[in-house]
Amino acid sequence: MTLTLLTDPTRHLFFTGKGGVGKTSLSSATAIALADAGKRVLLVSTDAASNLDEMLGVPLRNDAVPVPGVPGLSVLNIDPDSAAESYRLRVLDKMPDADDAERATVREQLSGACTTEIASFDEFSALLAGDTAAWDHIVFDTAPTGHTLRLLSLPSAWSGFLHGNDRGASCLGPHSGLKMQETRFNAALAALSDPLLTTVVLVARPDPGALGEAARTSDELRTLGLSNQRLVINGLFRAGDPGDAVAAAIEALGQQALADMPDSLRALARDTVPLRTFDTVGLPALRALLTDASVPAAATAGAGPVLPADSLDALVDALAAGEHGLIMVMGKGGVGKTTIAAALALGLVRRGKSVHLSTTDPAAHLAVTLGGAVPGLQVDRIDPKAETQRYVDKIMAARAPRLDAQEQALLREDLRSPCTEEVAVFHAFSRTVGEARSAFVVLDTAPTGHSLLLMDATGAYHRQTLREFEGRTGAHFVTPLMRLQDPDYTKIILVTLPEVTPVSQAAALQDDLRRAHVEPYAWVINKSLVAAGTRDPMLAARLDGERRQMARIADGLAAHTYVVPWTTTAPVGVDALTRLLGAGRPTAETA
């Protein structure tokens, strides 16, 4: 079995889709297949929380690194922090006559999330604008959908902002030289829109949520001018034991999802990749993903449970012990953060708490997951477009009265910068964090990479505030980061699937949070087949892999652990989410 998209691939291949659908595995396997066919291939990750290093066994850097064992293949990670520092140095290099104080001021101006975004985008544009003649193909492993749509919209957004604007963007500081990048941005936009150069590969699981998001993404990308699209259905399951209720339900759900596929996806060229019994880590597994080659079996972890864990309802009991607080649900895309956040919010409401449930995810699905209004539960989302307009209106109302007509026009032009959205979202996030002083706030966060960028903005604001109040006698302030660092105020819940990649990313996220002096409260292992119980031979190898990951978590990764079993019906709607709260923990009998 080989993907038909490999028959005549374009120079640029973008793999995108909902978190957890297998973008990294499929993009890596595709890049390896092209390199094995004699092509020179560059595999690029645009995800701040990429795990390509684990999959390929090579450290990631901000420049191309050859992949041992795959002649012709190199890998590159657009790391936001490295890109931002490189961008700052380029700006400062354009200021040879500036004194130390002026250079320090500019470095501070270039320390926020806006610079991080434009720096990453600058490197992304370079890969599309002809600076990569050494490669026959560039394969992009992108961040989950919401963040990727933001990235792919930036060439058009920045080109529109720069057109006729000879002043550059004030949010990036003086002498940024952004105007000089206009030619590159326009070239990137042209490359993305050229169907002879660029193919967007929409990746989905045979799941209504993943297929629905793929359809919405397809429509938005067409609006942006990216019309050359294909669809890959990943992880299609066929039951080996039709008498096994869990296996039969998994197969039936997949077939029903395909039967109900949106018409816009039906019109696309399609490939299907069956569910594999192995973890897609390492070159043998990645090569086998698109073929029928066998993969050496991993050592077994033994039968029975290896991780003492309670149900989700016990976690709600622990959270409800306080009178208020912030509960942030974090993790890799596709692990079920929205489901877990909604279930926790419902559990708190059932215990008589007033709860605000919100999300920072651009591809938010809270309303769909809940399926209806719940008394005592306020549900909304941090909408980037609405928050940007709110922020622009606030700035104009505060500053416009002191400006003449021309100065107002210049200010409004500056606020058209795509950077404004990042600032506006941070302000909305800060407001939401502050609400937990008097109520419970459950925050469903965007997938890991996007959340880390938001945390970076929180840290930058904290450092700026410390400098502003430094030396002031009696000054008292509390920044959003200080609230996140307070374990009595904030409880971080890390959600993972019992699979190698989600567990690795949850562990890496935990390390990142600890470096910011934010300590996670608990881990939730979602969709556990061990806890659900199954005898299907096709799932047996996956069960063993799940036990290995549970043993890994038990070996000191989590202070408190809770397990949610895989269910035969999708956890959508208040009744299903309520049942999820009381689902039992794994036992030797169910394993």
Catalytic residue among 22, 333, 334, 449: 22
Tell me how crowded residue 39 is: count the other CB atoms within 10 A of its CB: 15
Contact 379, 346 (CB under 8 A): no
Check residue 64 and report its DSSP letter.
-
What DSSP string describes 274-312?
Answer: EPPSS---SHHHHHHHTS----PPPPP--SS--S--B-H
Catalytic residue among 17, 18, 19, 25: 25
Find the length of the chain. Answer: 591
Contact 24, 141 (CB under 8 A): yes
Contact 213, 155 (CB under 8 A): no
Tell me how crowded residue 89 is: count the other CB atoms within 10 A of its CB: 11
Check if 24 is active-site. yes
Catalytic residue among 19, 47, 159, 271: 47
Which of 307, 365, 306 has its CA nearest to residue 340? 365
Catalytic residue among 420, 451, 458, 501: 501
**Bridge partner list, 442:** 327, 357
At 23, is the secondary structure helix, strand, or coil? helix
Which of 129, 144, 121 has its CA nearest to residue 12? 129
CA distance linking residue 494 with residue 521, whole number of Å: 8
Check if 22 is active-site. yes
Check residue 41 and report its DSSP letter.
E
Catalytic residue among 20, 212, 325, 333: 20
HEC sequence for 488-556: CCEEEEEEECCCHHHHHHHHHHHHHHHHCCCCCCEEEEEEEHHHHCCCCHHHHHHHHHHHHHHHHHHCC
CA distance linking residue 433 with residue 455, whole number of Å: 12
At 591, is the secondary structure helix, strand, or coil? coil
Check if 353 is active-site. no
What DSSP string describes 459-498?
Answer: HHHHHHHHHHHTT-TT-----HHHHHH-TTTEEEEEEE-S
Check if 47 is active-site. yes
CA distance linking residue 262 with residue 422, whole number of Å: 32
H or E segment to which residue 356 belongs: strand 355-359
Cα–Cα distances (Å) from 458 to 89, 111, 425, 430, in that order, read 23, 11, 11, 8
Handedness of CA 225, 231, 17, 263 (dihedral sign): positive
Residues labelled as active-site residues: 20, 22-25, 47, 501
